[in-house]
Structures are given as C-alpha cells and as structure tokens.
C-alpha cells in the first residue's frame, strides 16, 4: 500500500468521489474553495496493487503557533471493497506521511455510522468526539414514493402550499439569486447570533467548480412581487447538500420551505442526482429546523464521531 500526496489528478479524484456518493467536505471543489480563502488543504490518494482504495482531504490549521491540526471530515472516501485491515493500514500510513511539520495531530471523522464500522479499523486510535446526525433522501426513489414517506403534517403543509396559486416556485442555478440569499443569510446570522462557514465560501466554491451551473441551485418562492423564501444547495458529484435557507413571516405562514424542498427534489432527480443531504440535525439547539428535516422521512444517519 502506498500514499500519494499533492498535487493529485482532479479528474480521477472527482470520478472516484462521485461514484461513491462522497460528502461535500471530501469534494475536490470544497477543498479548492477553502484553499482560495487561504486555508491549508492537503489531499491524499491511497493505492493498493495499482488500485485506488481511498481519497482523503484534510483541512489544516495551526494551534498555539506550533501544532498542526489536520481534519479529515466525513472521510476518507473508500472503495466499496476496502477491508477493515486495509483501512487500518491506510489510517496508519496517512498519519505517518502527512506533509506537515513534526508536531501534527490528525483527526478522522468517518462518513459512516458507528454500527457500520469494524473495530479493527481503529484499533490504534481513540474516539475523541461523538458524531453528528444528518438526514439523507434517496432521490433514486420515484417522487410519489418520496412523497408517501413524508410525515403526515409535513405532507399536509406541502399539499396546502402546492394548492396556493399565489405562490410561484423556481429552482435554478442563478448567481443573482444566490448572492441575494447570501445577503439574507448574513443578516439572519447577525440577528440570531449564530455562525457557520463564511458566506464567501459559497462564492469561492462556485468559482472553483469546473462548471458553475452544475455546482449549485437556488430554490425560491415568490408571492406577488415579493420573495418569501429560498434555499441554496451545493452539488458535488451525485449528491446535493442543503447549505442555507431563509423565509420571511409570510413564507413561514405559507409553508414555503416545504414546497421549495419538494421542487428541489424533483429538480435534482431530473439531473440524475442520487442523494439529497439535508445536513445536521440537532433537536436540542435547533428543534424547528430539525423537525422539518426529520419530517421528510429521510434516512437519519448518526456518524461514528471523530478519532485521533
């Protein structure tokens, strides 16, 4: 087994990543976007007998001025036939060969639930943080089957919004709408005192994509001349990830987000996207948005956590 580090072939990475429905955090464009914002990014390919076994993208930063911390979030992305023994050896070699100064700390947060992992993979590491939960929608299912899976109240809100002729919904890769929504996101972050990836990340992500129009979509709802709600999705391979959303009081009253998400499902399904990742679920700190995501009936996955 051997590891190759930067520079690496982008096309080969993206093909491997897409075929395995890799996460946003392991997408080439995600790393390129952060690198353009002066974040240190390192990428590795793991090879076994000439076959690509895994790809791993690390986001790096300095702690206390001399410790290098490298995080592989929701990665590595593995070949379907990688064995626990191969994974354990890959983790060892990645830690050993990471091209950072001597005082380095590598953290791995696998894109797997705890019961999907073999203890042999992490026999030389310890879990230092529990994993977060997300909701995944299988867009290979027919739309009627997806709709049938919605929780009853969620489906009723959708039906009510769809029957309201005053609401017009569009889903498209509009840069103008994206900029507008990011301005709304900045305002609501300031009002609600919460943080996330800098909004400049989205612009960098789109600028780093080989085809900007295939890298995102904005779903937005209008009532008369007013936009009452919008959602931004980032596309990576065969997966689309929900990124930010906004609604005004009218949008909330008219269940705009239900119809926006429904129309986004149809839009991405028509593009051949296989999975819609709705992002983190935290019923303690974010009960409203968490109930909304859970109401879609998607598969709830709690990831294994972070290992050192």
Q: Among residues 125, 149, 183, which one ends one of the domains? A: 125
pLDDT of residue 157 exceeding 90, the answer is yes
Q: What single DSSP character describes residue 120?
A: G
Q: How far apart are CA 280 and CA 245, in angstroms?
A: 13
pLDDT of residue 32: 98
End-to-end CA distance of the chain: 21
Find the domain containing 231 and state its range.
134-302
CA distances to 21, 27, 268 from 238, in Å = 6, 11, 9
Confidence bin at 126 (pLDDT 50/70/90): very high
pLDDT of residue 285 exceeding 80, the answer is no
Q: Among residues 77, 101, 125, which one ends one of the domains? A: 125
Confidence bin at 66 (pLDDT 50/70/90): confident
* Domain annotation covers residue 143: yes
Confidence bin at 137 (pLDDT 50/70/90): very high
Domains in the chain, number: 2
pLDDT of residue 287: 86
56, 99: one domain: yes
Q: pLDDT tens, 261-276?
A: 999 999 999 999 999 9
16, 68: one domain: yes
CA 225 to centroid of chain Cα atoms: 32
pLDDT of residue 191: 87
Average pLDDT over residues 65-82: 96
148, 295: one domain: yes
46, 146: one domain: no
* Domain annotation covers residue 308: no
* Domain annotation covers residue 169: yes
Please enumerate in sequence order all residues whose Cβ is within 8 A of that of 232, keeping only pairs 6 or more positions apart, or say none.
178, 181, 182, 202, 216, 217, 218, 242, 243, 244, 245
42, 104: one domain: yes
pLDDT of residue 1 exceeding 90, the answer is yes
188, 107: one domain: no
Q: How far apart are CA 114 and CA 92, in angstroms?
A: 20
Q: pLDDT tens, 47-59?
A: 999 999 999 999 9
Q: Among residues 73, 90, 125, which one ends one of the domains? A: 125
Q: Which residue has the higher pLDDT, 281 or 99?
A: 99
Q: How far apart are CA 83 and CA 91, in angstroms?
A: 12
CATH of residue 198:
3.40.630.30
* Domain annotation covers residue 42: yes
pLDDT of residue 255: 97
pLDDT of residue 286: 78
Confidence bin at 237 (pLDDT 50/70/90): very high
Helix (H) or strand (E) holding 57: strand 51-63
Confidence bin at 198 (pLDDT 50/70/90): confident
Please provide the DSSP assignment of 224-244 as one string. TTEEEEEEEEEEETTEEEEEE
Average pLDDT over residues 191-211: 91
* Domain annotation covers residue 307: no
Q: Supply the Cα-derived Rg of the chain in whole angstroms.
A: 20
Q: pLDDT tens, 218-233?
A: 999 999 999 999 999 9
Q: Which residue has the higher pLDDT, 65 or 22?
A: 22
pLDDT of residue 203 exceeding 90, the answer is yes
pLDDT of residue 284: 74
245, 108: one domain: no
Please provide the DSSP assignment of 133-176 as one string. EEEEEETTS-HHHHHHTS-HHHHHHHHHHHT-TTEEEEEE--HH
116, 141: one domain: no
Contact 295, 151 (CB under 8 A): yes
pLDDT of residue 125 exceeding 90, the answer is yes
DSSP 3-state assignment of 105?
Answer: strand
pLDDT of residue 64 exceeding 90, the answer is no
């Amino acid at each position: 087994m051997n590891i190759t580090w930067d520079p690496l072939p982008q096309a080969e990475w993206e093909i491997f990543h897409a075929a395995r429905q890799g996460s946003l955090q392991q997408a080439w464009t995600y790393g390129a976007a952060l690198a353009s914002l002066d974040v240190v990014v390192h990428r590795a390919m793991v090879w076994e007998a000439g076959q690509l076994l895994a790809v791993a993208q690390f986001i790096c930063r300095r702690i206390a001025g001399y410790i290098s911390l490298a995080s592989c979030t929701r990665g590595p992305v593995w070949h379907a036939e990688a064995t626990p023994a191969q994974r354990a050896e890959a983790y060892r070699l990645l830690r050993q060969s990471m091209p950072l100064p001597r005082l380095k700390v590598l953290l791995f947060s696998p894109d797997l639930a705890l019961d999907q992992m073999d203890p042999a993979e992490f026999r030389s590491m310890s879990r230092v943080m529990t994993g977060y939960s997300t909701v995944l929608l299988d867009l290979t299912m027919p739309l009627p089957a997806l709709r049938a899976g919605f929780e009853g109240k969620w489906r009723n809100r959708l039906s009510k919004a769809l029957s309201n002729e005053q609401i017009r919904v569009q889903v498209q890769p509009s840069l103008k709408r994206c900029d507008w929504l990011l301005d709304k996101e900045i305002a609501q972050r300031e009002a609600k005192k919460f943080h996330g990836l800098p909004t400049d990340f989205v612009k960098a992500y789109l600028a780093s994509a080989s085809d900007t129009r295939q890298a995102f979509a904005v779903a937005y709802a209008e009532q008369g001349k007013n936009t009452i709600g919008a959602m931004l999705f980032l596309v990576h391979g065969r997966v689309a990830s929900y990124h930010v959303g906004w609604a005004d009081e009218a949008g909330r009253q008219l269940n705009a987000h239900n119809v926006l998400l429904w129309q986004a499902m149809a839009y991405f399904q028509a593009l051949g996207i296989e999975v819609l990742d709705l992002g983190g679920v935290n019923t303690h700190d974010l009960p409203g948005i968490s109930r909304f995501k859970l109401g879609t009936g998607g598969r709830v996955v709690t990831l294994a956590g972070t290992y050192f």
